[in-house]
Amino acid sequence: MARTDYLFTSESVSEGHPDKVSDQISDAIVDLIIAREPEARIACETLVTTDQITLGGEIRCAGMVDADDRITPEANAEIEAAARQMVREIGYEQDGFHWETAGFTNHLHGQSADIAQGVDAGGEGSNKDEGAGDQGIMFGYACDETDALMPATLHWSHQILKRLADDRHSGAAPFLEPDSKSQVSLRYADSKPVAATALVVSTQHAPGYHEGAKGAQLSDYVRSVFHDVLPEGFISDQTVMHINPTGKFEIGGPDGDAGLTGRKIIVDTYGGASPHGGGAFSGKDPTKVDRSAAYVTRYLAKNIVAAGLARRCTIQLSYAIGVAEPLSLYVDLHGSGDADPAKLELLLPQLVRLTPKGIRTHLGLNKPIYRPTAAYGHFGRTADGDFFPWERTDLVETLRAEF
């Protein structure tokens, strides 16, 4: 029998965390290339460290790669400008990492023909559909713990750091620097979050804001953010708060620790409340099912919970590289609803064709919409025009009618 009373914790990292800097640069490159050619292929990995930005991976986009599979000088200049602009928007103008002066190296090159032949749809007269860009398993999840239908521990971890970033950018908290992490531990009763037992923030700060009056100012500010973000009554005298528990945190970001694309996959998804297939999202065009299938499983799970068919829902898809149709579809309602998971497994492919092309077409993924996903979570965001289409709940009435 599943436990109903327990403690659970999730963490988040800010846009200035070195791994998130890498994710955002990679997705800035994805957007640059998809804006130029919606059907382009891109897999971009980024390494950031002290005064250095390094890219690697593969591209297929008309005019950006020469006959020898090398990036053209003009494309290289565009890519470098996009990477530097992303770092500038995050706010890095530090001695150890500055958007304008950091070294830049680009090792992107043309896409492997061996991969392309399996992924591409057949030409005129062919019955071959576009295949998956890789093998793998992908999970989507939704629950009714928050209005965003996300785990509360992760949702509030994101919101705390988003508030710090907004105040830093606006000048309301000028003592903050870009790198920060948060952690929220909640007590659950009858499987519902009822109280915060521990809250943690470690944030990079301006010189001197770790002791004395300045240290108290920073601590008081973070405490006020805790109270603003969490619902009334969740924080009490019993809530343990750790604010910069190591003390001084002036050296941060890529100068303090190297960053790589794809190292924060649990932060990107559900904070540990759901299984994860293992594949990262950032830096990949939507033919890669690591990204697009994870988005559509969230979309389906969210609509199931929004329709009132369950309080929790986990969905898994699996694919083989070069094969269009998924190998399996699994729905788990965790005993939280009366709907038949087996019936859902038959119904969902009728609502959305779960091939790579079907997913991209249904959700409109061949657009430059990925930079905003690369910090503060890919899920639980507000569907806004072309952005975050997997957060729409436009299947709710159909699902309710079927059940």
User: Residue 63 region, left (φ>0) first, then alpha (ψ -120 to 50), else beta?
Assistant: left
Catalytic residue selected from 17, 168, 187, 205: 17
Catalytic residue selected from 60, 181, 187, 298: 181
Catalytic residue selected from 163, 263, 298, 312: 263
Check if 257 is active-site.
Answer: yes
Check if 93 is active-site.
Answer: no
Catalytic residue selected from 60, 84, 155, 284: 284
Check if 290 is active-site.
Answer: yes
Known binding residue 162? Answer is no
Check if 214 is active-site.
Answer: no
Cα–Cα distance measured from residue 336 to residue 338, given in angstroms and rounded to the nearest whole number: 7
End-to-end CA distance of the chain: 26
Burial class (CB in 10 A: 0-12, 13-18, 19+), 199: buried
Known binding residue 100? Answer is no
Enumerate residues 6+ apart whose C-beta is below 8 A from 74. Answer: none
Cα–Cα distance measured from residue 139 to residue 307, given in angstroms and rounded to the nearest whole number: 19
Catalytic residue selected from 116, 195, 206, 258: 258
Known binding residue 179? Answer is yes
Catalytic residue selected from 8, 11, 15, 20: 20
Known binding residue 124? Answer is no
Cα–Cα distance measured from residue 346 to residue 369, given in angstroms and rounded to the nearest whole number: 31
Work out whether strand 136-143 and strand 312-319 pair parallel, antiparallel, or are unpaired. antiparallel
Cα–Cα distance measured from residue 378 to residue 280, given in angstroms and rounded to the nearest whole number: 11
Known binding residue 74? Answer is no
Check if 384 is active-site.
Answer: no
Known binding residue 238? Answer is no
Check if 3 is active-site.
Answer: no
Known binding residue 257? Answer is yes
Catalytic residue selected from 78, 89, 257, 402: 257
Check if 45 is active-site.
Answer: yes
Check if 192 is active-site.
Answer: no
Known binding residue 111? Answer is yes
Check if 249 is active-site.
Answer: yes
**Cα–Cα distance list, 269 to 355, 367, 383 (Å):** 22, 21, 16
Known binding residue 58? Answer is yes
User: How many H helices and E strands in the chain?
Assistant: 11, 13
Known binding residue 17? Answer is yes
Check if 226 is active-site.
Answer: no
207-231: buried (b, 16+ CB within 10 Å) or exposed (e) per residue? eebbeeeebeebbebbeebbeebbe
Known binding residue 214? Answer is no
Check if 234 is active-site.
Answer: no
Catalytic residue selected from 11, 15, 19, 27: 19
Catalytic residue selected from 84, 162, 163, 288: 288
3-state secondary structure of 26: helix
Catalytic residue selected from 11, 15, 31, 45: 45
Known binding residue 192? Answer is no
Check if 284 is active-site.
Answer: yes
Catalytic residue selected from 97, 226, 249, 281: 249
Catalytic residue selected from 130, 177, 290, 332: 290
Cα–Cα distance measured from residue 203 to residue 218, given in angstroms and rounded to the nearest whole number: 9
Residues paired with residue 207 on neighbouring β-strands, in sequence order: none
Tally of CA atoms within 13 A in the half-sphere of 279 that contains its CB: 23
E strand or H helix that includes residue 199? strand 192-205
Q: Which residues are catalytic?
A: 17, 19-20, 45, 58, 181, 249, 257-258, 263-264, 284, 288, 290
- Binding-site residues from annotation for ATP: 17, 179-181, 248-249, 257, 263-264, 280, 284
Binding site listing for L-methionine: 58, 111, 257, 288
Enumerate the known binding-site residues for K(+).
45
Known binding-site residues for Mg(2+) equal: 19
Q: Name the binding residues.
A: 17, 19, 45, 58, 111, 179-181, 248-249, 257, 263-264, 280, 284, 288
